[in-house]
Structure 1
Amino acid sequence: MIPSPRSVLFAGLAALAFAHAPARAAPLPDLEDWAGVERAARGQTVRLAMPGAPAAAGAYLEWASGELGRLYGVTLEVSTDPAGAAPVAAPNTANAEAASPDLLWIEGDGFPALKRADRLSPPFADRLPNWPLVDLESHPSNLTDAGEPTEFRLVPWGLQKLTFFTDTARAGPSDGLPRTADALLAWAEAHRGRFALPAPGSLAGRRFLEQMLFDTAAEPSVLLAPAENSDFAEVTAPLWRAMERLRAASWHEGRSFAWSDGEALDLLAKGEVDMVAGLDPLAAAAAIRQGRLPTTVRPVLFDGGMVGGTHFLAIPAAAPSPAGALVAVNFLLSPEAQRRKADLAGWADPSVLALKALPQGIADAMRADARDPAAPSARALAFTIAEPHPEWGDRLVDEWARRSVR
């Protein structure tokens, strides 16, 4: 398997950050006394482990750090490198617990393993003051990760959705672009070398395989159950036939890839390809606004929906500053912080909050961004295929890696 930088970072963090954490979760402060939580948090330093964070998140996190200090006296330190974020350098060290991060970003499928190992804090998310603002109607993925209920041990932070992007100046009007897996294959074969496959081992690569399987499987509902319950070879046979054809028709015959949304959009901007895939549905709209893409780039989504979900923040069981972590994560869930995060002039990471629950000015600003022609509509963003059971993704990635080295 060809691991992505992000998957390596997450795997390394999960292994190092929790291998020596205490099995029993440390108690959190009494969330019913939120004023007391804020008092206890003042003066604390909160360490957020965010391995593989997108470059666009940097300015947003700097702003969030400043606001947390100004409003609550909390210092936010962010590590994007597992070598710096990993709380344990060696087993059985005396300071293993003290070195744990206070917050951990979870954007892949790592939650089930962490939950089974009891490495996360007890449930808390639904008792945060800003929890009532979370959109559970349009985005039920705010309550699940990798096919498992979060049990309120994770706080939804932003939305991800497999999205294709194309420059309509070269590829033609949006209404003529592929809206099914079969149509994508036909388009790629008619425009050889102009579609870039997402990198094997990357999260976008995993979601792409899952998407193609949903569209090619005879009975997609089996993907919501463990893969061991089905005949994997039989279910995936149509997928591999499609992927072999798609690889042959792709950029550099599927031997070169972009590892991130940013790299994929760079290929599009340079004219090396006409269609790419990414996980941030607002990425193209943001890149256009920031002058990094032509104004003719548009998102392309399948009519039957696209695989997507939520990325989260968790408080590790051994977090040394749990009060500060609670205050920080509640602030990151606030209307002001979610609006700033979704701003097309910045990170452009979709909000997890319900517009109808927000102050009028913030809701209006978010609606204005949603009307950007390079952004999917709110309806399209909500029309999401749930991530399959993680066993399917694991086996798809392994099998595609095996086939890729033939």
Structure 2
Amino acid sequence: MKKIAWILVILLISISIISGCSKKEEKESINILDLKWEDIVSQSKGQEVNIYMWGGDKSVNSYIDDWAKPLIKKKFNISLNRVPINDPKDMINKLLTEKEVDKKQGSIDILWINGENFKTSKDNNLLWASFADKLPNYNKYVDKDSLDIKYDFGEDTMGMEVPWGKSQFVFIYDSEKVKNPPKDMKEFKEWIKENPGKFTYPSPPDFTGSAFIRQTFVHLIGEYKGYDTVDMNKFKSDSNITWDYMKEIKPYLWRKGKTYPESSSKLDMLYANGEVLMSMSYNPLHAFNKIKNGEFKESTNVFFLNDGTLSNTHYLTIPFNASNKEGAMVVINFLLSPNAQITKFNPSYWGDGLVISYDKLSNSDKEKLSSIYGLKETKFLEKLQKHKIPEMKSKYVEEIEKDWMENVAKD
């Protein structure tokens, strides 16, 4: 009898396992994008969503941890977990490895991404699907036909990533010590030589450092439109002008150019401590946020070069093997809501540029926006908008970082 009882127990366990597996397979066989949005929201409840993102800025981290995370938990019963990373390329390499070994359930649910990292992910099938049009807030508030949203560093997003914010490159300076900031790259070189040791930039692959090199390249060649397509022969020839320029200023940089800050946050620290007189950011509101937080002096101001300033959009995407795709979609949709975007725009939280269209907002939301910044900041942003330069294609970004290492860093 005991033997028969054990056989029955084993049989019941086997049936349970098979039933569980069949339910899992049944769920996986359902195309999430074919579900109604209400059903996606329902299935997301109780999920833990890991968002992998650069963790080098306190304001950005606080926006996620202190504002977004509690609200998402309360509204959707989703636990949002921010995973800080130093370089998004590390996560791309992680996904490449997981793709190679056919790992079905990954740890990354949402990835903050743009530019060359998006292209690499797209080319290697590391992204899940074209999910953007499934998000109600994307359809309601985003200008989907805008070229700086549809294309990421010249690459068609195909709805595989969703815009999260907009940025433009600016320089930050101490107006008490720098009375007349440079207006072009020629004046910049003169200023650096006149103020030895008081300027530097982050070393690539830091995003801001790489952007400074691209900004320099664009201004020095003076014919940006020639880079709408990929022409590596032209690039190699033109880039010599940039490397000559950067080698010329190198001895006059902080620590005589023998070392560089490894991140934009380290450069901010050098500026805040008075070791250098300038910093830089791809967030035009970054300096104003730092002033408000007491990290930068009140005499801090912002400038850009007369010929224009690089601009781009940054995005959120879902990897191919995300374990909680429903939760990831709900979180991203929430981060596109007017409430989340306007709060992110506020310097008390992050101060990042809006990606939703102003014209699509309600009158009350427009009033909220107008009350956030003072006259000085508002006028600066209006002026900055007129000096946009589109980013280079991602292929050039890879080459610039590699060539800088060979031609400048190792020189």
TM-score for the superposition, normalised by structure 2? 0.83
Separation (CA, whole Å) in 2 of partners of 1:27 and 1:247? 57
Residue 16 of structure 1 corresponds to none
- Tell me the SS of whatever aligns to 1:280: coil
- CA–CA distance in structure 1, aligned partners of residues 95 and 216 of structure 2: 38
The letter for the 1-side match of 2:141 is L
Pick which of 31-40 and 212-221 moved more. Answer: 31-40
1:183 to 181, 187, 191: 187
Amino acid at match of 2:190: A
The equivalent position to 1:158 in structure 2, one of 144, 157, 165, is: 165
Q: Compute the displacement of 1:38 (Å).
A: 1.3
**More moved, 363-372 vs 379-388:** 363-372
Q: Do residues 104 (structure 1) and 111 (structure 2) align?
A: yes
User: Structure 1, residues 120-167: CA drift from partner, whole Å, max 9, x if none?
Assistant: 122121331111312568x73222223201011111112232210001
Tell me the residue number matched to 1:223: 227
Following the alignment from structure 2 to structure 1, what is the Cα–Cα distance between the partners of residues 147 and 228?
15
Bigger radius of gyration among the two:
2
Aligned to 1:133: 141
SS of residue in 2 equivalent to 1:50: strand
Q: 1:81 to 1:272 in 2, by over 3 A?
A: closer
Aligned residues of 1:288 and 1:294 also touching (Cα < 8 A): yes
CA separation in 1, counterparts of 2:249 and 2:355?
Answer: 34
Q: CA deviation at 1:298?
A: 0.9
> Is the aligned partner of 1:356 residue 2:364?
no
Per the TM alignment, residue 268 of structure 1 is displaced from its structure 2 partner at its CA by: 1.9
Percent of aligned pairs sharing the same letter = 24
Corresponding residue of 1:337: 340
1:181 Cα deviation after fit: 1.6
The answer on 1:41 being equivalent to 2:44 is: yes
Secondary structure, counterpart of 2:167 in structure 1 = strand
Q: Which amino acid aligns with 2:137?
A: N
* Residues 172-194 of structure 1 deviation map (CA, whole Å, 9 limit, x = unaligned): 1xxx3212222211222222222
Cα distance per residue 1:95-133 (max 9 Å; x no partner): x21234221111452111211122212212133111131
Q: Is the 8 A contact 2:96 2:126 kept in 1?
A: no
* 1:5 equivalent in structure 2: none
2:244 is matched with 241
Paired residues in the alignment total 376
Residue of structure 2 equivalent to 1:79: 83
Q: Is the 8 A contact 1:261 1:277 kept in 2?
A: yes
Query: Take 2:337 and 2:401, find their aligned partners in 1: how far apart are those partners?
Result: 36
Superposed displacement of residue 26, structure 1: 8.7
User: Any idea what SS the aligned residue of 1:402 has?
Assistant: helix
Q: Distance in 2 between matches of 1:211 and 1:118?
A: 30
Distance 1:395 1:41 in 2: 41
Q: Measure how far apart 1:341 and its partner are.
A: 1.6
> Which residue is 2:256 aligned to?
253
Give the distance between the partners of 1:316 and 1:147, measured in 2 at CA.
Answer: 21
Alpha-carbon shift at residue 72 of structure 1 (Å): 1.2
SS of aligned partner of 1:104: strand
**How big is each residue's C-alpha offset from its partner over 1:323-365, in whole Å with a ceiling of 9 and x where there is no partner?**
1111110001111111222221122222212223223344334
Please tell me whether the aligned partners of residues 285 and 372 of structure 1 are also in contact (alpha carbons under 8 angstroms): no
CA apart distance, 1:300:
1.0
**Which residues in structure 2 correspond to 1:209-220 (within 5 Å)?**
209-220=213-224
* Residue from 274, 285, 288 that aligns with 2:288: 285
Pairs within 5 Å for 1:273-352: 273-352=276-355
- Please give the root-mean-square deviation of Cα atoms over the aligned residues, in Å: 2.8
Long gaps (5+) in structure 1: 1-24
Shift of 1:238: 2.0
Give ranges in structure 2 of 5+ residues lacking alignment: 1-27
Shift in Å at residue 397 of structure 1? 1.5
Shift of 1:87: 7.1
Moved over 4 A (4+): 25-28, 81-94
Does 1:59 find its partner at 2:67? no
Q: Residue type of the partner of 2:151?
A: T
- Matched with 2:410 is 405
What is the CA–CA distance in structure 2 between the aligned matches of 1:225 and 1:361, rounded to whole Å? Answer: 43
Correspondences of 1:182-201 after superposition (within 5 Å): 182-201=186-205
Query: What per-residue deviation string (whole Å, max 9, x for no partner) do you get for residues 281-327 of structure 1?
Result: 21110010011111111111112221121111101122222211111
Residue 381 and residue 136 in structure 1: after superposition, are their counterparts in 2 closer, same or farther (change >3 A)?
A: farther
Structure number with higher helix proportion: 2
Amino acid paired to 1:164: F
Residue in structure 1 matched with residue 395 of structure 2 by the alignment: 391
Is residue 341–residue 348 contact of structure 1 (8 Å, CA) maintained in 2?
yes
Tell me the equivalent position of 1:19: none
Q: Which amino acid aligns with 2:265?
A: G
CA distance in 1, matches of 2:387, 2:52: 30
Task: Read off the aligned partner of 1:123 and give its amino acid letter.
Answer: S
Aligned to 2:124: 117
Partner secondary structure for residue 57 of structure 2: coil
Q: 1:369 to 1:183 in 2, by over 3 A?
A: farther
TM-score relative to the length of structure 1 = 0.84
Q: Contact (CA 8 Å) 1:331, 1:337: kept in 2 or not?
A: yes
Task: Determine if contact 1:100/1:316 at 8 Å carries over to the other structure.
Answer: no
C-alpha contact (below 8 Å) 2:221/2:238 kept by paired residues: yes
